[in-house]
Structure 1
Amino acid sequence: YGLRNPWRFSFDRTTGDLYIGDVGQGSFEEIDRQPASSSGGENYGWNIMEGFACYNATTCDQTGLTLPIHTYGRSVGQSVTGGNVYRGSQYPALQGIYFFGDYVTGRIWGLRQVNSAWEDHEFTNSPYNVASFGEAENGELYVVDLGGGVYKIRD
């Protein structure tokens, strides 16, 4: 629980980890993650927090909350679309990167865990309304545009 408006989620086919794109209320979009080793029941913080920000600093008890692995502000994008972890073989440099996008701006990013930190990289700034991502049987990833286009993620 604790999700405001989850917009697309996926499981990493290799690790079993769950990734969720959660659309914020007014300040931040976020990516949440639940490791496969979790017994479940995480509280992702809504409506105590949005991203890493408390709604009310005097009553913001973060005890037991699972904070996002990544956030971005409304100056960067306005509606996150959750994606998938790349597990294909055509582009080895993309292996293990979680791809997600923003419906309003068309931006697509990749997140990679490096030790205990998550590093983000803007993959492309497309002209599309990123509506969804899809994963082929072979692990290759695709982006779906609201206008009906399907585009392959490439290195």
Structure 2
Amino acid sequence: MFPPAEEDPGGRQPAVPLGPAAAERQELIERWAERHGIDAAHRLADAEDLADAVGREITPDNYKKSWRVWERFCAATVLPELEGSRGALVAFVPWMLREGQQNGRGYAPSSASTHLAGAVVGLRERTVKVSGDDRPRPARSWKAG
């Protein structure tokens, strides 16, 4: 078990979420403490808390925007929105790079990568099966060329 605050020289305890995730989080913190020491475990837990907070603040809007880009792509190419095939995802990449923005200009590769990831998340949220190896292939297709 992770040492109580009074045994921690810094006097800190990492924030632990309530509910079913609490036990999982506690196990993770314990593994960190065993591998890296208590102070590092606290810093890692703080970093996880920060990542969770940032994710709550920005992720939903980014995914919504990426889903709108996916919708524009599907409308422009007359492909079904709820199809996460490798071919559809690969076709999405050059479309974004050429003309994906609403003004008809292409996205920068980093933005296209973000939108590709967001489209995959959006498809999965809508219970569309997207295999784990489908996403990296389109990303490699524009980095290799």
TM-score by length of 2: 0.22
Query: TM-score, length-normalised on structure 1?
Result: 0.22
| Structure with the higher fraction of residues in strand conformation | 1
**Structure 1 or 2: larger helix share?**
2
Q: Which has the larger radius of gyration?
A: 2
